[in-house]
Amino acid sequence: AQSVTQLGSHVSVSEGALVLLRCNYSSSVPPYLFWYVQYPNQGLQLLLKYTSAATLVKGINGFEAEFKKSETSFHLTKPSAHMSDAAEYFCAVGPFGNEKLTFGTGTRLTIIP
């Protein structure tokens, strides 16, 4: 079975500060890993994905994540937070192909002006 654990249900950072959202995974097979963002009253939008190519993955809106097999981690970072980054972020794991995604419990990111 595959699962993800997101550390910290709420994270607050100052505008312009580094954003770091943590995700650890558990998988018996090489995983595909994803970060999604959800703005209030909207659906999920894919930020970035790891599909066994480069371990450092760049996504939209200046976010990136690094796959570290030795640490079973896939943390999401952004060098400088913007007010528009305030949202809920979900880490997810899935096998290859059109199969279900297993999501973490989410991290709510608040940006302090």
Strand partners, 111: 13
Nearer to other proteins, 79 or 98 (CB): 98
Residue 63 in the binding site for other proteins (CB under 8 A): no
Nearer to other proteins, 12 or 52 (CB): 52
Min CB(43)–other proteins separation in Å:
4
Do 21 and 5 touch, CB atoms closer than 8 A?
no
Q: Considering only residues 7, 11, 17, 44, which one is a binding residue for other proteins as defined by CB under 8 A?
A: 44
Nearer to other proteins, 62 or 106 (CB): 106
Nearer to other proteins, 17 or 86 (CB): 86
SS (H, E, C) the chain: CCEEEEECCEEEEECCCCEEEEEEEECCCCCEEEEEEECCCCCEEEEEEECCCCCEEECHHHCEEEEEHHHCEEEEEECCCCHHHCEEEEEEEECCCCCCCEECCCEEEEEEC
Residue 31 in the binding site for other proteins (CB under 8 A): no
Residue 7 in the binding site for other proteins (CB under 8 A): no
Residue 1 in the binding site for other proteins (CB under 8 A): no
